Structure 1
Amino acid sequence: MPVLERDPWRFQYFESVPCPDDVLIPTDDPDCWTLYPRHRWIYDKLKVAESQGIACGPHGVPPDRYPVFSKPIVNLKGMGLGSRVIASAGEMDHASQPGHMWMELLRGPHVSTDCAIQDGRIVWARHATGVPWLDGMFRHWTIHAKPFPDLETYLSRWTSEHMRGYTGIINFETIGGLIIEAHLRFADQWCDLYGEGWVEALVRLYAKGEWYFADDDRRDGYSIPLFAAHGHAFRHPSLEFQFRIRAMPDVKSLQVTFHEVKAPEDHPMPPGGFRLAVINATDLDAGHAARRALAKAFPQDQILDQT
């Protein structure tokens, strides 16, 4: 399989694509840290903020003004662990922690962008935005067909200045057009929505340093999670039931995103709920219909209403 994928529900995107044995394509930040020592500095969020002139500093250095956003300087586990808004100097005194930083509280759209990079130059980009729900959960993400020209120009300038020598994928998270964090990988949750042949292009980029991808037929895509209440153990729907969901109109894929043999509390999940599955679709209404159908495979009193 061409991709170092730790989540078995995402093997479906990669297992049929041939790849040289010596080519390693990471999807998890700890693997990125190991594979790219020259560029691992990108996981230092303090350095990323400083590189853009954003007001920031480690805990112990007081901000000039509040509120600020506080988070770990390095967090390879993701999920926003340890992040919070700090509203005042008094609150900062109580919240101060070693290894954490503060930065200016940014406003504006929160965008996730996957970029294909050749020697520090962006040669392809695709953007996604989420609809927040409750306590770290999202109703869905939209993977946009349209370009974001201003954002792409900014990311291209930053990448050409700071990422020379790097060839591969970078995922950027931005707020209001400024980078809040970056990853030496792609968003594997919805890579099937990038279009036919994208994984083959990914392999070629890592194997030969070349990017060729026919991207003229973009469509908006939607990645739609199904959540249940915390505190329960769940079983996977039958393979036959899953097949029926995947066969519904405009559904591209179904991921059942938990391990039956692992305790529920051992899964990294947002505070608001336990994610049972994700449906990727090319039509939002069709994706919602598939989610409602999928929910019937689980105890109804434990499903969280996402309508």
Structure 2
Amino acid sequence: MPVLERDPWRAQYFEHVPCPEDVSIPTDDPDCWLLFPTERWIYDKLKVAETQGLPAGPHGVMPEAFPVFSKPMVNLKGMGIGSRVIHSAAEMDHHYQPGHMWMPLLAGEHVSTDCAIAQGSVHWCRHATGVAWNDGMFRSWTVHARPFPVLEERLTGWVSTHLPGYTGMMNFETIGGTIIEAHLRFADQWCDLYGEGWVEALVRLYAEGRWAFDDGDRADGFSVPLFARHAGPFRHPPAALQEEVRLMPHIKSLQVTFHEGKPPEDHAMPPGGFRLAVINAADLESANVARRRLSSAWPAGLVLHQD
């Protein structure tokens, strides 16, 4: 499968779509780093901050004002690993960490945006916003049908200026319209919510360098995770229960998002909990009903109920 999918639970979105064998489509940042050496600089979050004129610097350079947000300059695993808010110079000294940086503590809407880009020109965008829970976890994500015109204009200008020759997908995370992270890939957690023919358009972009997708039937979609307390080891739900959940009304897909044979501590998970599964659906209440049904596969005291 030329789509480079490291998470086997997401192969379901790509395995039935034809793709030329000489085409490689990354879904994970380490693969992006290898495939796009010219553009890999965007994984340096300090450089991304500097392209926007933000006050920022590495640990060891003291900010002029607090609070600031601290994080690794490069983190290909994601999940907010190593990030924190720092409120004072004394706290900055205490939490000094080589390879980490600081930037302003931003306010505003946190948006994840997927973009299809051909030769530095953005041809398509979809935006998702999440309902934050605690310790890096989210209750749900909404993949919006509506455009975000101000944000799209800003991202389009940034891409044309800084990535004029790039062709492929990009994912941006923004807060209040400011880019906090950029990735040379798309968000494969909910790509099945983008509509019929989207994966075929994805393949065409990488195979032919052009974007052609009929996006006229956009609809809101919803992605809900199921978390448990950090414990384990965890077992996958019975196959019959998984199939029951997949066949429930308005459910688009089910991902069981962990490896049974891998120690829980070796999975990249947020501090607040261990993600057991993700359910994508056309209706939020239907997704919540399916999540509750799926949660019966694990002891009630282990599951973190988030409805």
Q: For the superposition of Structure 1 and Structure 2, which TM-score range results when normalised by the shorter chain? A: over 0.9
* 2: CA distance, partners of 1:38 / 1:47: 14
Shift of 1:306: 1.0
2:299 — aligned with what? 299
Q: Which residue of 2 aligns with 1:281?
A: 281
Query: 2:118 maps to which residue?
Result: 118
CA contact (8 A) 2:232 2:264 kept: yes
Q: Which amino acid aligns with 1:263?
A: P
The 5-angstrom pairing of residues 23-38 of structure 1 reads 23-38=23-38
AA partner of residue 66 (structure 1): F
Say if 1:2 and 1:17, in contact at 8 Å, map to a contact too: no
Distance 1:73 1:298 in 2: 37
Specify the SS of the correspondent of 1:199. helix
Rounded Cα–Cα distance in structure 1 between residues aligned with 2:269 and 2:215: 33
The TM-score with structure 1 as length reference comes to: 0.98
Cα distance, 1:27 vs. partner?
0.7
After TM superposition, the structure 1 = structure 2 runs for residues 83-232 of structure 1, keeping only pairs within 5 Å, are: 83-232=83-232
- Structure 1 distance, partners of 2:60, 2:115, is 35
TM-superposed deviation, 1:241: 1.6
Aligned length: 307
Structure 1: unaligned runs, 5 residues or longer? none
Deviation at 1:7, TM superposition (A): 0.5
Matched-pair contact (CA < 8 Å) for 2:114–2:187: yes
State the AA in 1 paired with 2:285: D
The answer to whether the 8 A contact 1:139-1:225 is kept is yes
- Residue identity opposite 2:166 in structure 1: Y
C-alpha RMSD of matched pairs (Å):
0.8
Distance 1:134 1:63 in 2: 27
Q: Retained in 1: the 8 A contact 2:269–2:275?
A: yes
**Paired residues of 2:2 and 2:22 also in contact (CA < 8 A):** no
User: What residue identity is the alignment partner of 1:238?
Assistant: P
Query: 2:67 is matched by which residue type in structure 1?
Result: P
Matched, 1:264 2:279: no
Superimposed CA distance per residue, residues 54-100 of structure 1 (whole angstroms, 9 cap, x where no aligned partner): 11111111111111111111111111111111101111111122111
Whether the aligned pair in 2 keeps the contact of 1:2 and 1:203 (CA below 8 Å) is: no
Where in structure 1 do 4 or more consecutive aligned residues deviate above 4 Å?
A: none
Contact 1:2 1:15 in 2 (8 A): no
1:2 CA drift (Å):
3.1
Q: Distance in 2 between the 1:58 and 1:199 partners?
A: 39
TM (norm. structure 2) is 0.98
1:259 Cα deviation after fit: 0.9
- Which digits, 9 at most, give the CA deviation of each residue in 1:239-275, with x for residues without a partner? 2221111010000000001111111221111111111
* 1:158-205 Cα distance to aligned partner (Å, 9 max, x none): 110001110000100000101011000000000000011111000000
Within 2, Cα distance between the matches of 1:46 and 1:253?
36
Q: Which shifted more, 93-102 or 189-198?
A: 93-102
Give yes or no for contact 1:72–1:83 (8 Å, CA) kept in 2. Answer: yes
Bigger mean CA offset, 194-203 vs 93-102: 93-102
CA distance in structure 2 between the partners assigned to 1:301 and 1:191 by the alignment = 32
Identity over the aligned pairs, expressed in percent?
Answer: 71
Shift of 1:238: 2.0
Looking at structure 2, the residues matched to 39 and 210 of structure 1 have their Cα atoms a distance apart, in angstroms, of 19
Q: Tell me, what secondary structure is at the counterpart of 1:38?
A: coil
